[in-house]
Amino acid sequence: MIQKYGVAGTDIIRQIHTEIFRLSIPEPWKIRLADTVGEIDFRLVQGSNEEVQLSAMLARLVEAGYEMKQTEKG
């Protein structure tokens, strides 16, 4: 999206942050995901590479999804 549409990484981060709180997941997970997004946003503001940081964030979101599924199976 960054290259194809010219969307800034921080804009993507802001939208993801907004969507986290609309998800039907337990509050502790919302907090963890918001913390992850905040960390990535901080790194972007500090000048880190957008593609690398967004890839790292997506990886963390996938990990969280797997962890949530494991918790449900319990």
Closest CA to 43 of 53, 35, 51: 53
Full-model pTM:
0.80
Q: Domain of 39: which CATH number? A: 1.20.272.10
74, pLDDT greater than 70: no
Q: What is the pLDDT of residue 1?
A: 55
The residues, ordered by sequence, that sit 6+ positions from 36 with a Cβ below 8 Å of its Cβ are 57, 60, 61, 64
Q: What is the pLDDT of residue 2?
A: 62
Q: What is the pLDDT of residues 3-55, one digit of tens each?
A: 677 888 889 999 999 999 999 999 999 999 999 999 999 999 999 999 999 99
Q: What is the pLDDT of residue 14?
A: 93
Domain of residue 27: give its range.
2-73
Pick left, alpha or beta for residue 25 (phi over 0 → left; psi -120 to 50 → alpha; otherwise beta): beta
Q: What is the pLDDT of residue 7?
A: 85
